[in-house]
Amino acid sequence: MTRVFSGIKPTGHLTLGNYLGAMRQWAAVDQHRADALFCVVDLHALTVHHDPARVRRLSRQAATLLLASGLDPALCTLFVQSHVDEHARLSYLLECVATDGEMRRMIQYKEKAAREQRRGGSVRLSLLTYPVLMAADILAYGTDEVPVGHDQTQHVELARDLAVRFNQRYGHTFVVPRATNPSVAARVMNLQDPLSKMGKSDDTGPGIVYLLDEPDVARKKVMRAVTDSGRDVVYDRESRPGVANLLEILAACSGGNPEALAGVYESYGDLKRDAAEAVVEVLRPVRERHGELCADPGYVEGVLREGAERARGMARPTVDAAYRAIGLLPAGSDTGAPVLNAVR
Ligand code: AQP
């Protein structure tokens, strides 16, 4: 059976981008067709300035929202990254395979390092190396497919490269994974700045629809979206990025494809109105279920505890095999002496 792994970082409140680009596909498709693991990747949230209590709160909220969006613990494994030591164990080995130049080419590193510097902060070393941790997240589980939005494709490519390099140098150890993207809304853009991705840790609140926004708030944000000069509704990401973004959001929420939908509208106002309603309707069940789950925090904790146990059992054999393959002496008296004698 195909093994699927993906994760979400608790660096802010989850957005419509996270939902349309990733979570919805995980719940509607991936957990039903594959042996799927989904993870709140909390260690990744420590790569930029953070408030410890907020990271804890957002981690719980992200897990609750993943369940609210339809992940079913009977069908998939849902857990928190820091509850499974294998991720950090494997990350160090992969750092010994990755290169400094490779890390510095990562687009997210460049963008986020620049943002930290603009804010007057220093750039943490972990911001440079976290794509390696992400590779460890993926490779520890023998993952075949990683369903992500477009922004994460480069990081999945790195995981592929590291798997191939490790296998060539030290013997076949890892499955080589590949990224999969949704057909529409793989890159939802900020409603106030349609040239930038709708990111949960951005500062421009009015351009970001959060999954837990009240319906009126979400509706207003879409109605106030920046559109382009011109009046006719055409789908062209290059010359009409604002309108293209609205068409993609509408298509992702209500079905259809953006090109065909463009032909249906004569004014930006009508398009915005329908996109706003579609967004409100898509988010309504998620908000409602989130409310119910919040009333039962013990349930969410139980799901995460069991998920971590299951994940540990899946990751450990692969990570142990990587430790042996790279040349580390296994702990335990039964293996030590013969190995030492065999080495010249
Ligand atoms: N705007 C987006 N459009 C489509 N997909 C998106 N994803 C994120 N933003 C969009 C996808 O959501 C999954 C989880 O993302 P993440 O939480 O690991 O972090 P990210 O990709 O770096 O997204 P953010 O929201 O922009 O976080 P910050 O601001 O902290 O960097 C991934 O599959 C991602 O592709």
Give the tens place of pLDDT for each residue, 21-72. Answer: 999 999 999 999 999 999 999 999 999 989 999 999 999 999 999 999 999 9
| Token representation of residue 64 | 């609750």
**How far does residue 7's CA lie from ligand 1's centre (Å)?**
9
Q: Is residue 10 marked as binding? A: yes
- What is the model's pTM? 0.93
Cβ-Cβ contacts under 8 Å for 33 (sequence gap 6 or more):
2
pLDDT of residue 179: 96
Q: What residues does 190 pair with on adjacent strands?
A: 193
One fold for both 3-181+297-326 and 215-294? no
CATH class in words for 3-181+297-326: alpha beta
For residue 149, report the distance from its CA to the centre of ligand 1, in Å.
Answer: 7
Pocket of ligand 1 (CB under 6 A): 6-9, 11-12, 15, 17-18, 21-22, 148-149, 151-152, 186-188, 197-201
What is the reported pLDDT for 339? 44
Sorting pLDDT into bands at 50, 70 and 90, what band is 265? very high
Pick the CATH number of 215-294 from 1.10.3720.10, 3.40.50.1370, 3.30.420.10, 1.10.240.10: 1.10.240.10
Pairing label, strands 189-190, 193-197: antiparallel
- Residue 335: predicted pLDDT: 52
Residue 197 has pLDDT above 50, yes or no: yes
150-274-232 Cα angle (round to 5): 80
Distance 18 CA to ligand 1 centre (A): 5
For the question of residue 220 being annotated catalytic, the response is no
CA 190/CA 72 separation, integer angstroms: 30
How far is CA 323 from each of CA 319, 327, 329, 336, 339, rounded to the nearest angstrom? 6, 7, 8, 14, 14
- Provide the residue ranges of all domains of the chain, joining segments of one domain with +: 3-181+297-326, 215-294
